[in-house]
Amino acid sequence: MLGNHSSATEFYLLGSPELHHTLFATFFLFYSVTVMGNMIIIVIVCVDKRLQSPMYFFCHLSVLEILITSVAVPLMLWGLLLPGMQAISLTACSAQLYLYLSLGTSEFILMGVMAVDHYVAVCNPLRYNIIMNSHTCIWVVIVSWVFGFLFQIWPVCATFQLTFCKLNVVDHFLCDRGQLFKLSCDDSRFTQFVLFLMAVFVIIGPLIPTIISYTYIISTILKIPSASGRRKAFSTCASHFTFVVIGYGTCLFLYVKPKQTQAAEYNRVVSLMVLVVTPFLNPFIFTLRNDKFIKAFRDVMKRCCQLFKG
C-alpha cells in the first residue's frame, strides 16, 4: 500500500500541548461511557427477542461507533498520559487512517438505510415486516461494511504515495489526512480535489435518501389526527434524526471542503466532536426516548438480579 515514494518512516503526533491530565480524565470518561453504553445496546438487543425486529437489527451502528472511536482515542489517551510528541510508524498511520475512513463510510451508509427504515415504519407500517425482512437487513449491513472498506482503499493509497519530505510532525492527535498533505512536497491539488469529490459522494449520497425519507415522514406525521399518535410517530424517528443532525453536521465541516489542508486547531476540535463527543452522546440519544428499549433493559436487569440472588 505504501510503495517506496515516502522519505518518512514514521510521524510524530503533536496532540494537545496543555492540560494533559484534565483532558485525559475527560476523554477517558467519555470513551468508557461510549464503549459501555454501546455494548449495553448490543447485548440488550441480542438478548431480548422483542427488540430483534428489522428496526433494531441496526444495532450494527453501535458496533461501528465502538470501532470508530477505538481506532484513535486509546492512542490519544496514551499520548495524554505520557506528554510529548508520540511516534507512530508509517504503516500504523496508514492503517489508522484507513480504518477510520472505512468505518465512517460504512456508518454513513447505515445512517441512510436507517432513514429509509424509519420511512417504511411510519409511512407503510402494514408492509414494514415484508419490506424490511431479515434477509434484506442482512444484505444491507453486509453491503454497507464491504462498500466502506473497498471505497477507501484508493484514497488512503493516494495519500501515502505522496513524498513526505518536510518535518514529520503531525499537528493532530491522529493521522489526519489534511495534516499529512501539509507534510508533502508534491503537488497534491488534483488528489485533494478527487478526495473532495469522493467525500461529497460518501456524505451527500446517503444524505439525499435521508432528506427525502424525513420529508415524507414529517408529511405523514402531520396528517395524523390525534396528538398522541403524532407524538408516538415522532418518537420513533426522533433519536435517529438527532443522530443524523449531529453526525452530518460535524462531518460536513470536517471532510467536505476542496482544500484538505485546513487549520490544525479547526481540525482537532471537529475531530474531537466526531471521535469523542458524538459517540458519547449516541447511546443516550438512541435509548432515553425509546420506551421498548428501556422496558427491555429493565427486564434484563431484573433477570440478572434474580440470577445473582439465586
The residue behind cell 434524526 is 241
Number of helices and strands (H, E) in the chain? 12, 3
Q: Where is pLDDT greater, at 62 or 255?
A: 62
Please give the pLDDT value at position 231: 78
pLDDT tens digits for range 129-170: 888 888 888 898 899 999 999 999 999 999 888 888 877 888
**CA 59 to CA 141: how far, in whole Å?**
10
Q: Are 296 and 44 in contact (CB under 8 A)?
A: yes
**CB-hemisphere CA count at 13 Å for 28?**
11
Please give the model's pTM, rounded to 2 decimal places. Answer: 0.85
Q: pLDDT at position 261, please?
A: 46
Residues 6+ apart with CB under 8 A from 83: 20
Tens digit of pLDDT for each residue in 213-248?
A: 989 988 888 888 887 777 777 776 777 777 787 777
- Rg for the chain (alpha carbons), in Å? 21
With a cut of 60, say whether residue 6 has pLDDT above it: no
Q: What is the mean pLDDT of residues 282-300?
A: 77
The pLDDT of residue 1 is: 43
What band does 122 get if pLDDT is binned at 50, 70 and 90?
confident
Q: Indicate whether 288 pLDDT > 70.
A: no
> pLDDT (tens digit, 9 = 90+) per residue, 77-112?
888 887 667 788 888 999 999 999 999 999 989 988
Q: What is the three-class DSSP state of 141?
A: helix
- Reading the block at residue 203, the C-alpha cell is 456524505
Q: How far is CA 26 from CA 22, 55, 80, 178, 272, in A?
A: 6, 33, 11, 26, 12
Task: Supply φ then ψ for residue 257, to 5 degrees.
Answer: -150, 135
- What domains lie within the chain, and their CATH numbers? 10-309 (1.20.1070.10)
Q: Please, which pLDDT band fits residue 265 given cuts at 50, 70 and 90?
A: low
